[in-house]
Amino acid sequence: MRRTFLIGAVTAGVLCALTPPVSASSVSVSGSSNVVRPDDRRLAYEGHWGRSATSATTVNSGSRLRLRFTGGTLHALFDVSSITVPAQIYVSVDGGPKRLYAVDRDDLDIAVPGRGTHTAELSVKDVFSRANRWTPPLETGVVLTGLRLDEGARLLPQHPLPGPRLAFYGDSITQGVMALCEVNTSDCADGTAAYPTLVADDLHASLTQVGFGRQGVLQTGNGGVPAAGDAYGWNYADSRADSDRRADVIVVNQGTNDTAYGTEEFRAAYRAYLDRLRSAAPHARILALRPFNGAHADDIAAVVRELADPHAEFVDTTGWISPEDGDFNGTVHPNAQGHRKVADRLASLIKSKEH
């Protein structure tokens, strides 16, 4: 039976139904066959993307792709053959408003304001945490197979971002779950409204944002995701990550989901996790956050003290956000206001100790 998808595109708002999709093989873009491969070096990926000549795949909210191109059209091409819960993405062209799309078809026609030289940023709003996003074939995620430009149009080189290289590792909070409203759905989640993206934008920094719902250093995550130590260094199962070693600053927000585990077991796992981060990025500054609900706060502080690593520090987040100030959707997840407050604190902390 043929699947019927609905695709939406609006300005930072609600998805609107359009016409059913057409197969990429039958789409004609002004007769163009000018397809950019996903591994083209002129494409600037941020975050965990498993890349090859045929696809670039991410399962993380907050992952981004930036490009510069000429012409008057832009089509983003995807493989949705195994997808049952489409991811949501934003696309901004020439620094304009973000338009929201569901990645539920193999060809998205991105609105471009006329012919000329343009920039575009694709950012992943949400990859639903409760569908399989770890072991292929993936039920959710973004699988980009290329970009189609006008015939004769060109992809252009880009300048690197001037700020530091930031990496954030955490759970559903880092993912941006329930940032927009109080239901655990993709519509209520927004990785670009979560504190990692906000900090990176404030500092003009490159971003790796890895958040997995329900995950802890001992607790496995939703969607088939392993615990943090086993997931670290991988984009998803059998796809090694290559961005971890380049981070200048690593922010860890783990422990919220490990309340079922005792002090001794948690400390051993947390220390092993920090050891893995340090081994992969020997010169990075590591910020170990107190979880916003205070879970295992004393244990995390103790592990950091025991490590005696001059480039690792415990960050006491007590009082940064609170239910009394309306900073949460539900009992655990910060809302957009709460994420903004956390981002302001973290950005100031990172800037205060930059070389």
pLDDT in tens, 138-147: 999 999 999 9
pLDDT digits (tens, 9 = 90+) for 267-313: 999 999 999 999 999 999 999 999 999 999 999 999 999 999 999 99
> What's the confidence (pLDDT) of residue 179?
98
Q: How far is CA 114 from the centre of its chain?
A: 30
DSSP string, 165-232: EEEEEESHHHHTTTSSSSSSSTTT--GGGSHHHHHHHHTT-EEEEEE-TT--SSSPPGGGPPPHHHHT
Kindly state the DSSP code that residue 270 receives in the 8-state scheme. Answer: H
What is the number of residues in the chain? 355
Residues 333/179, Cβ–Cβ less than 8 Å:
yes
135 DSSP β-pair partners: none
Residues 147/76, Cβ–Cβ less than 8 Å:
yes
Q: Give the pair of three-digit tokens for residue 146.
A: 């290329």
> What's the confidence (pLDDT) of residue 242?
81
> What's the confidence (pLDDT) of residue 164?
96
Q: Phi and psi for 125 in degrees, rounded to 5?
A: -70, -50
- For the chain, residues with pLDDT lower than 70 are 1-32, 243, 354-355
> What's the confidence (pLDDT) of residue 341?
98
> What's the confidence (pLDDT) of residue 353?
75
Q: Where are the alpha helices (DSSP H) in the chain?
A: 172-175, 195-202, 228-231, 263-280, 297-307, 336-352
3-class state of residue 159 by DSSP: coil
3-class state of residue 349 by DSSP: helix
The residue whose two tokens read 């998808």 is: 5
Residues 259/331, Cβ–Cβ less than 8 Å:
no
User: CB-hemisphere CA count at 13 Å for 297?
Assistant: 10
Q: Phi and psi for 259 in degrees, rounded to 5?
A: -65, -20
Taking phi over 0 as left and psi of -120 to 50 as alpha, with beta for the rest, 94 belongs to: left
CA distance 51 to 62: 17
3-class state of residue 350 by DSSP: helix
